[in-house]
Copies of this chain bind each other. A is one copy, B any other.
Amino acid sequence: MLTYRIPARCGFALVLRRGQLLRVIDPEGEQVADVVTFSESDPRERLSNGRSFDYGGRIYFTTGHTLYSDRSNPMLTIVSDTVGRHDFLLTPCSREMFRIQYGVTGKQPNCLDNLAKAIARRGVDPALIPTPFNAFMNVDVLPDGGLDIRPPRSKAGDSITLRAEMELLVAVSAWAAGRCNNYRFKPVDIEVTDG
C-alpha cells in the first residue's frame, strides 16, 4: 500500500494500474480534493464531466457510479463513499479565478498550478487539464440553475475510494480556495492498494 499526505494547498500525481484502488481521505473534515485523470497511453484522453453526466444520467456520483473519459471509456468506478456528495461541475481554482472572483492579484497557491506542476513533471501538457472530479465539494444546483457552494459534508476520516478502469495518470490537489473548504485549508491523504 502506498500512502501519501498532500499538504494543504498542494498537489500530487501518481500512476494507477488497472484495478488498483485510490482512496482519497479527508483527515480533518470539510476539505475538498480535486481529482483529474489522463490515460497513461495517450494523455489527450481525459476525464470528462459531460460524458459522465450523459452515461450516468446525473450530475452527482457516489458508490457504484462510473466516471468516463472524453472518448467514452470508463476511467474510474466509485467503490465506496462515506460522504455521498461530490462536485463535477466546477473548475480548479486558479490565478485567474482569484483575480476575477475575488480581485486578488499576484501569485498564491491554487489548484490549477498544483495540478499543472504535478502532471508537467510527468510530461503531460497542462493545457489538457479537464474539469476535475471534486471529491467532498458540496455544490447545490438551485431550481433556476444557480449554483450554491456550501461547506463539504465530509467529517474527519471520511473518504471516497475509486477503482482505476484503465492505466491512469492521476493528479490530486488539496483545494486552495476558501469558500469550498469552509475557510480553512487542510491536507488530503491518499492511499493506493491493489484492490
Contact = CB atoms under 8 A, between A and B. Distances in A.
A31 to B, nearest CB: 19
A146 B57 contact: yes
Contact of A97 (B44, B72, B141): B72
Q: What copy number does this chain have within its complex?
A: 2
A145 interface: yes
A70 interface: yes
A15 interface: no
Contacts of A53: 89-91, 147
Nearest to A93: B54
Interface in A145-191: 145-147
Contacts of A90: 50, 53-54
